[in-house]
Structure formats: structure tokens, C-alpha cells
A and B are shown apart, each in its own frame.
Chain A
Amino acid sequence: GAGVSQSPRYKVAKRGQDVALRCDPISGHVSLFWYQQALGQGPEFLTYFQNEAQLDKSGLPSDRFFAERPEGSVSTLKIQRTQQEDSAVYLCASSAGQYYGYTFGSGTRLTVV
């Protein structure tokens, strides 16, 4: 596609519910990144894929967070047993490689009630 597409755009989840957030990167982009942005804060790194390999997951805040990119294109960020502190905008970005710029999606705003 022309850009990075994220869905859903908004998600309201009840505390304890599992959620899945989807990212469709630009076709052919090998690198894919997930970031979490709390209200009024800058984004924070969660995890990074190169093709289907998850090369860095050091930013995932707990084992309730899990990301996958099984075929090296679409990625899903799953949050199990959501908590209120998980409320944030989840941003996905993709890149053609290490020496290229990033293209960000519009984000998924998750609200846990």
C-alpha cells in the first residue's frame, strides 16, 4: 500500500480483556517497529522485526505483550489481560532498511476501562 496502515484506529477494552492490534507496513519494507505513546509523552520503543525475525523485544513492558510477524509483512501486537496502564497510542513504523527513513502509521488509540 501507499503507507503504513494500522487497525483498528480506536479500541476500547475492558480491563482483563485481550486485544490484538494490526500493522500493515509498506510493501517490501523489511523492518517493522512498534512503539507505545502515553498521553503527553514521546513514543517509547517496544519491539523490532527484520522480515519475520523479532530482533529486539527489549521494550515490551511485560510478558502480557506479544508481537509477531509470521510472514515478514503484516504484524500483530497482542496484549493479554489488559490493564489501565496499557492505555496509550500504539504506533507502527516500517523502513526499507537500516539506512532509510521510517514511515509511521496513524496509530491505534487503546483505552482500557
Chain B
Amino acid sequence: KNEVEQSPQNLTAQEGEFITINCSYSVGISALHWLQQHPGGGIVSLFMLSSGKKKHGRLIATINIQEKHSSLHITASHPRDSAVYICAVRGAGGSQGNLIFGKGTKLSVKP
């Protein structure tokens, strides 16, 4: 079993829909990252959080430390949101860069 599990693996939505991507992890963590990867490989860091909730534009990330679960929400989705969204955690005893990555959720938003 992977230490970081994401669901769903693939998601197709219509423009304007509210989207939720889930991440569950089995290790103690000191931080959790949400990343966006477009075709061609470039990765953009969306959020780094260790508790609570963060919001940036149409993106919202939440984390529940007790339940070892995080969600990424996209409101009013748009075709340009189409990308792979990756959850990554830094273990509580791990070094700063030693992230454990999920396999990603491939999101496709149709116009």
C-alpha cells in the first residue's frame, strides 16, 4: 500500500463544476504539498500546509491531521485547470526535501 493515496485517479468535469481531489496518507507528517503538473512536465507548487485551510483564487486546500486526509477543491472549474494534481507529504522525521508523492489525479475540464 502506498503511503500517499490520491483519489480519484482520473477526473473529467464540465466547465464551471466544483471539483474535489482527495489525498490520504499513512505516515506522520510535518507538511503536505499540493502540486500541479501540466503536460510537458512543469510542476507548480500550489499549497504547502500543515493544518487548517488555505485559499488562493479559485483553489482551496484543507487538511485534517487527525484523519490524515487533505482535499484540494477547485471552484468554477475552467479548461485551463486541466492538469495532473499531485499530493506530496514530508514525513515527520524526514528531511526538508524528502517528500513522498502520490501518483497524481489527472483532471480534464471540458468546455
Contact = CB atoms under 8 A, between A and B. Distances in A.
Interface of A: 31-33, 35, 37, 41-45, 47-48, 50, 55-56, 58-59, 89, 91, 93, 95, 98, 100-107, 109
Main secondary structure of the interface of A (DSSP, over half): strand
Point out which of B40, B48, B96, B101 has the most chain A C-beta atoms below 10 A from its C-beta: B96
Nearest to B102: A42
B48 A56 contact: no
A44 B45 contact: no
A45 B3 CA distance: 14
Contacts of A106: 40-42
A91 B43 contact: yes
B103 A42 contact: yes
A47 B71 CA distance: 28
B101 A31 contact: no
Q: Which 3 A-B pairs have the closest CB atoms?
A: A48-B97, A42-B101, A33-B97
A58 to B, nearest CB: 7
Contact of B41 (A33, A98, A107): A107
